[in-house]
């Protein structure tokens, strides 16, 4: 059976989720208290509804508990975001993903039962800072608190070294999970594999260990 999704709050973040689900041919109900916003999504969402989601009776009448996953994309109005999340979990919605505006908001959302808390501005900021700070870092993805995956392009420091010889696990507590060479990707590469200039190493580990390794590569 296909999953049923609801997005509450049609700002840039919530709106882009609705558009992307629509492109993926996935049914989505879009809700916002602002009529103009809802009208914008009338032809994109499967159903577009004007509703104030801090009103429990409104959510009940929409049959919200029958949906598999609800995204709370209300940002600026933190009170509305918290109250909506609380009501959704109270009504028994299985999966609630909520967008946080700041760390305190994120903590409260987790405490009241949000299954996933996302912090898009902070995460994107961190990602860009890592890319800016080191020319070898192509991308950075936070996995959980203090653990990340980075994509590192091999320059002169890594060129011609084998994975065994680098021994990132012993030296930095890091693991190379894949190597991209041209358009080919090798998952769990052989330790005997020699790194070529321009290879992209996909490395996983603790943020402190990743930073130590990144600084070793700086300008080299
Ligand atoms: P973004 O950062 O994603 O662009 P935004 O700044 O445009 O968001 P926000 O204030 O974060 O807007 O709110 C997103 C949407 O949530 C708005 O369109 C707003 O009308 C809607 N919204 C706010 N409160 C409620 C509520 N109680 N019920 C339903 N929708 C709400």
Q: Give me ligand 1 centre to Cα 2, in Å.
A: 27
Q: Give me ligand 1 centre to Cα 13, in Å.
A: 9
Q: Are residues 13 and 62 in the same domain?
A: yes
- Rounded to whole angstroms, the Cα distance separating 207 from 112 reads 28
Q: Are residues 11 and 114 in the same domain?
A: yes
Report residue 175 as tokens.
């693991």
Best residue among 16, 48, 74 to mutate for probing ligand 1, ranked by most atoms within 8 Å of CB: 74
- Rounded to whole angstroms, the Cα distance separating 130 from 126 reads 6
Question: What is the extent of the structural domain holding 13?
Answer: 5-118
Q: Are residues 107 and 127 in the same domain?
A: no
The structure's pTM equals 0.79
Write down which residue in 118, 143, 172 finishes a domain: 118
Residue 102 belongs to a domain with what CATH number?
A: 3.40.50.720
Closest residue by CA, ligand 1 atom 30: 32
Question: Which residues have CB under 6 Å of ligand 1?
Answer: 8-14, 31-34, 37, 52-54, 73-77, 80
Q: What pLDDT, on the 0 to 100 scale, is given for residue 220?
A: 45
Per-residue pLDDT of the chain (220 residues; tens, 9 = 90+): 567 899 999 999 999 999 999 999 999 999 999 999 999 999 999 999 999 999 999 999 999 999 999 999 998 899 999 999 999 999 999 999 999 999 999 999 999 999 999 999 888 888 888 888 777 888 888 887 789 999 999 999 899 999 899 889 999 999 999 999 998 999 989 989 899 999 999 999 999 999 899 888 864 4
Q: Are residues 83 and 162 in the same domain?
A: no
Q: Into how many domains does the chain fold?
A: 2
Rg value, the chain, Cα: 22
Q: Are residues 85 and 99 in the same domain?
A: yes
Q: Are residues 104 and 9 in the same domain?
A: yes
Q: Are residues 9 and 114 in the same domain?
A: yes
Question: Measured between alpha carbons, how far is residue 131 from residues 171, 174, 217 in Å?
Answer: 23, 19, 13
Best residue among 29, 32, 84 to mutate for probing ligand 1, ranked by most atoms within 8 Å of CB: 32
């Amino acid at each position: 059976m296909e999953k049923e999704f609801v997005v509450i709050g049609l700002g840039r973040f919530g709106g882009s989720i609705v558009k992307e689900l629509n492109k993926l041919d996935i049914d989505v109900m879009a809700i916002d208290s602002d009529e103009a916003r809802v009208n914008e999504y009338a032809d994109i969402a499967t159903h577009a509804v004007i509703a104030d989601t801090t009103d429990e009776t409104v959510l009940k009448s929409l049959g919200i508990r029958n949906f598999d996953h609800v995204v709370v994309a209300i940002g600026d109005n933190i009170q509305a975001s918290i109250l909506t999340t609380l009501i959704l979990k109270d009504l028994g919605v299985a999966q609630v993903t909520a967008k946080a505006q700041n760390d305190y908001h994120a903590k409260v959302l987790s405490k009241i039962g949000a299954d996933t808390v996302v912090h898009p501005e902070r995460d994107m900021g961190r990602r860009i800072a890592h890319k800016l700070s080191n020319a070898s870092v192509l991308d950075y993805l936070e996995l959980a608190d203090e653990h990340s995956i980075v994509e590192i392009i091999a320059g002169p420091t890594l060129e011609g070294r084998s994975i065994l010889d680098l021994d990132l696990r012993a030296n930095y507590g890091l693991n190379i999970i894949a190597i991209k060479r041209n358009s080919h990707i090798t998952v769990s590469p052989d330790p005997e594999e020699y790194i070529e200039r321009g290879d992209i190493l996909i490395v996983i580990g603790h943020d402190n260990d990743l930073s130590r390794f990144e600084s070793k590569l700086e300008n080299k």
